[in-house]
Amino acid sequence: MVKEKQLEYSEFQPAMLDEAKRRRKAAKIIAVLEHFHGPLEGLTVGDVGCSAGFIADELAAAGAGRTLGIDIDVPGLRKAADRFGKRVAFICGDGTALPFPDGSVDVLVFNHIYEHVVDPDAVVAEMHRVLSEDGVLYLGLGNKLGIMEPHYKLPFLSYLPASLADRYVRASGRADHYYERFRTRRGLRKMTRAFYVWDYTFPVLATPSAFAGGELFPGVLGRIAQGVLARTPRAVLKLMLPLVPTYLWVATKRPRTPAGAALPQPPERL
């Protein structure tokens, strides 16, 4: 099957319209960006794959001087423009041909989008082009080797070749075919090889209170998990990395170091 663009994604993926959940994700994204870069005040910020605009709206509320939301999801963009169009500029555009000049955007967000696009390498190359020399790219990246596939909640689905994955989702009654295509950690680093990358995955998991991520570990068991992660030696955590379901990375065009306070599990340069 030839992979085609997922148009009108918010019409068949209700999670994109879960406002509370999307705003919680935005709070985490902003906290990571501010830890690495500092405040967003006055910056030009773009959300590539914005859909209904909740994350873009939170970026604007965080003080961005100009906020851009880019997607090919026309129904989602209409909803977004109706609600947030006064402080966010929403643009129907393909990520492989972003309608911005070279080096014109200070911060970009690309959160759990790459597996949905036809050519993620081309989108990453475009984001590199439009990002300013001192700019920052936030990447939320699903891992092919995460055991539970996040869209269909089927174990090991993303491990399978396309034909078997299609049969699996059809047998489950959850879809006609499996569209998404994930990459391993190694493949993701290859995709972002033009960037300098810092890994914030374990800092966010070990210190969720610092990254507006309290919902990651609810309850008593969650607090125990946080404490274990905070004290686990980095060498042990590295052994877990290949199977972590989601990576949280910050990428830049030139070498930079995080500006924020020290953390029990600090971000690591890849």
Give per-residue pLDDT as tens, 40-63: 999 999 999 999 999 999 999 999
Output the six-digit token pair for 143: 């891992």
111-134 pLDDT, tens digit per residue, is 999 999 999 999 999 999 999 999
Q: What percent of the chain has pLDDT over 90?
A: 74
pLDDT at 3: 72
pLDDT at 123: 98
Residue 84 has pLDDT above 60, yes or no: yes
Residue 229 vs residues 139, 226, 236, 258: alpha-carbon distances, Å: 22, 5, 10, 20
pLDDT at 246: 94
pLDDT at 236: 82
What's the pTM value of the predicted model, to 2 decimals? 0.92
**Angle between the 19-37 and 54-61 helix axes, to the nearest 10 degrees?**
40
Residue 25 has pLDDT above 70, yes or no: yes
pLDDT at 256: 96
218-248 pLDDT, tens digit per residue, is 555 556 666 677 677 878 878 888 899 999 9
Residue 215 has pLDDT above 60, yes or no: no
- Please state the domain extents for the chain: 9-144+182-253, 145-181
Give me the chain's average pLDDT, please. 90
Question: If you search the block for the tokens 């869209």, which residue do you land on?
Answer: 151
pLDDT at 11: 53
144-195 pLDDT, tens digit per residue, is 999 999 999 999 999 999 999 999 999 999 989 999 999 999 999 999 999 9
> 31-35, 231-235, 263-267: lowest mean pLDDT where?
231-235
User: Does residue 1 contact residue 177 with C-beta atoms inside 8 Å?
Assistant: yes
Fold of the 9-144+182-253 domain: Rossmann fold (3.40.50)
Q: Binning pLDDT at 50, 70 and 90, where does residue 140 land?
A: very high
pLDDT at 208: 85
pLDDT at 250: 98
Q: Binning pLDDT at 50, 70 and 90, where does residue 80 land?
A: very high
DSSP string of the chain, one letter each residue: ------TTHHHH-GGGG-HHHHHHHHHHHHHHHHHHH---BT-EEEEET-TTSHHHHHHHHTTBSEEEEEES-HHHHHHHHHHHTTT-EEEE--GGG-SS-TT-EEEEEEES-GGGSS-HHHHHHHHHHHEEEEEEEEEEEEBTT-SB-TTT--BTGGGS-HHHHHHHHHHHTS-SS-----B-HHHHHHHTTTSEEEE-HHHHHH-GGGGT-GGGS-HHHHHHHHHHHHHS-HHHHHHHGGG-SEEEEEEESS-----S---SS--EE-
Q: What percent of the chain has pLDDT over 70?
A: 89
